[in-house]
Amino acid sequence: MTQTTAAQDVVLRLTGITKRFGKLTANDDIGFALARGEVLALLGENGAGKTTLMNILFGHYTADAGTVEIFGETLPPGAPGAALKAGVGMVHQHFTLAENLSVTENIVLGTQSLWRAGLGRAAARDRIAALSRDFGLAVDPDARVRSLSVGERQRVEILKALYRDARILILDEPTAVLTPQEADALFDTLRRATAQGLSVIFISHKLHEVMAISQRVIVLRHGRVAGEVATADTDRHKLAEMMVGAEVALPHPGLGTPGEVLMELRGVSLPAQGRRSGLAGIDLALRAGQITGIAGVSGNGQSALADVIGGVTAPAGGALVVAGAEVTEWSPRAALDAGVGRIPEDRHATGSIADFTLTENAVLEAYATGQFSRRGWMDWRAARAHAAAIITTYDVRCPGPEARIRLLSGGNMQKLILGRALEAAPRIILANQPVRGLDIGALTYVQERLIAARDAGAAVLLISEDLDEVLALSDVIHVMSAGRLSPAFPRGSMTPARLGAWMAGQGFTDAA
């Protein structure tokens, strides 16, 4: 916000916010203001203090110093609900919806007394329809949430905030699970909403989106404001430098040298499960010294493919061949014994155990091998040393090996999982959405480690919904659509537009 902005245009002001957790200073004298109708992007590396700052705003944490003002009124510290009552809404990266309830029931839930007779569904539906029309958030108010796509669920979350008369909306990594088309639709909604006076704090790691939607950017680094700039006066390269405090260069790997086939899927099929696509008789070869990229819109069979590679699911049809021999029994333990290192898609649900420490999470997959146990007893000294080595090598920013992993930011959690997988020196690496939600510094580091693993002779399967990432890193690219797998395309042989046609199913139709 420029100095010429009138004081009455300020809808939110944070002044001198400081928060410490023991020796760790998460927020250090942070202050900024948000104007009416503005989109303010909040950038920062994983662990820079963004989440802590938002928790203070919503009263989940009490600041050690500083104040929060909304529309000129100071919020009481540590009072959950005060920000909501004052007109602040937040859409979290991980949605908080009841899947068994309808859209209308999810939106209305918590807005009225449980003792009130009926939910006033007719009036609620009318208001939801009006909000949907005014803000371009098309969704069926009677649909069950479990039947909705990811993009539709996000619309419901935004409608929840608007239904509660939110005048300030905080979006935390809003496009992390959206297709490019859904992200474009979200931006159209935000432009329409801010034109009507809504103010938005946009938290993201995707710099091209920050440049596309925001008017102003504030960068946090190590808990402090590292810089503030008008979006029109900067570019992605400069923002990346502000975030990490140094020059940032994305890796540009040369072509790998493919070796022997370490794993092969021959006509592998799996049945669909609900809205999740199965596999339709796919053929895939993973070679040593090669990164094989899988592109596609979310929900087209990538999760089923990852489950087969990682041993979570055995093929229902076809053959799985590992090291030249057809597998007859396949499980997570069998996959680990075969040298498969797993970086799962969901670091919260399947990549970690929230209430376990970093040490416990670091040895989860190695425990069964006996590496950290002696005669049935855990060698905790060795386990802690292993966790400490991962923390240091992979720059996991945390209080220490004995901290609960749920206390970490998503990016730091991902770096611990990456270290757990790569330090086992796997022959085959399943990298499923490995940089989702990571800042530019962490993203660069993860990609460099995957390239180094390839160059050391590993076969890397990169599954990503970020087409730019697939194009930049993959030696060969396949596209998944409705459970089908395209032929292998060598790097440089396909344009994004041609891959997009395959992603939409057109290439499969033409090939047939």
pLDDT, tens digit only, all 512 positions of the chain: 444 445 559 999 999 999 998 888 999 999 999 999 999 999 987 778 888 898 899 888 999 999 999 999 999 988 888 988 999 988 876 678 888 888 888 898 877 654 454 557 788 888 888 888 888 788 888 888 888 776 788 888 888 888 888 899 998 878 766 666 677 888 988 999 999 999 999 998 788 889 999 999 999 988 999 999 999 999 988 998 888 787 777 788 889 999 999 999 999 999 987 667 899 999 999 999 999 999 987 778 998 999 999 999 999 999 999 999 999 999 999 999 999 999 998 888 788 999 999 999 999 888 766 778 877 788 899 999 999 999 998 888 888 999 999 888 777 888 899 999 999 889 999 999 888 767 777 788 889 999 999 999 999 999 998 888 899 899 999 999 989 999 999 998 988 888 888 887 887 876 65
Tokens read off for 84: 């909501």
CA-based nearest residue to 1, from 241, 215, 240: 215
Residue 317, SS3 per DSSP: strand
Q: At 272, list the tokens.
A: 């669909």
Burial grade of 215 (CB within 10 A; 0-12, 13-18, 19 or more): middle
Q: Note the helical H segments in 112-229.
A: 121-135, 150-163, 180-195, 207-213
* Whole-number pLDDT of residue 247: 75
Nearest to 200 by CA among 75, 42, 331: 42
Name the nearest CA neighbour of 357 among 429, 320, 323, 407.
407
Q: What is the DSSP string of 80-138?
A: TTHHHHHTEEEE-SS----TTSBHHHHHHTTSS-TTSSS--HHHHHHHHHHHHHHHT--
Burial 92-112 (b: 16+ CB within 10 A, else e): ebebebeeeebbbbbbbeeee
| Cα(371)–Cα(383) distance, integer angstroms | 9
Q: Read off the tokens for 133.
A: 């029309």
Task: Calculate the dihedral angle through the C-alpha atoms of 317, 314, 178, 432, rounding to the nearest 10 degrees.
Answer: -120
Residues 6+ away with beta carbon under 8 Å from 266: 283, 318, 319, 320, 321
Token look-up 């250090």 returns: 28
For tokens 């023991």, what's the residue? 22
Q: What is the pLDDT of residue 162?
A: 87
Instruction: Give the Å distances, CA to CA, from 68 to 75, 445, 459.
Output: 6, 35, 51
Q: 287 near 476, Cβ under 8 Å?
A: no
The predicted pLDDT at position 287 comes to: 97
pLDDT at 270: 94
State the DSSP string of 273-294: BTTB--EEEEEEEEETTEEEEE
pLDDT at residue 512, as a whole number: 54
Q: Quick one: pLDDT at residue 210?
A: 92
Enter the CATH code of domain 250-339+426-512. 3.40.50.300
Domain boundaries of the chain, sorted by first residue: 7-244, 250-339+426-512, 349-423
Fold topology of 7-244: Rossmann fold (3.40.50)
pTM: 0.69
pLDDT confidence of residue 2? 46
Report the pLDDT value the prediction gives residue 63, as an integer from 0 to 100. Answer: 94
What is the C-alpha R_g of the chain?
24
Q: What is the reported pLDDT for 46?
A: 72
Please state, in angstroms and rounded to a whole number, the distance separating the CA atoms of residues 248 and 512: 44
Distances (CA, A) of 205 to 50, 211, 233, 309, 443: 11, 11, 19, 29, 10
Contact in structure between 300 and 480 (CB atoms under 8 Å): yes
Greatest alpha-carbon span in the chain: 72
Tell me whether domains 7-244 and 250-339+426-512 share a fold. Answer: yes
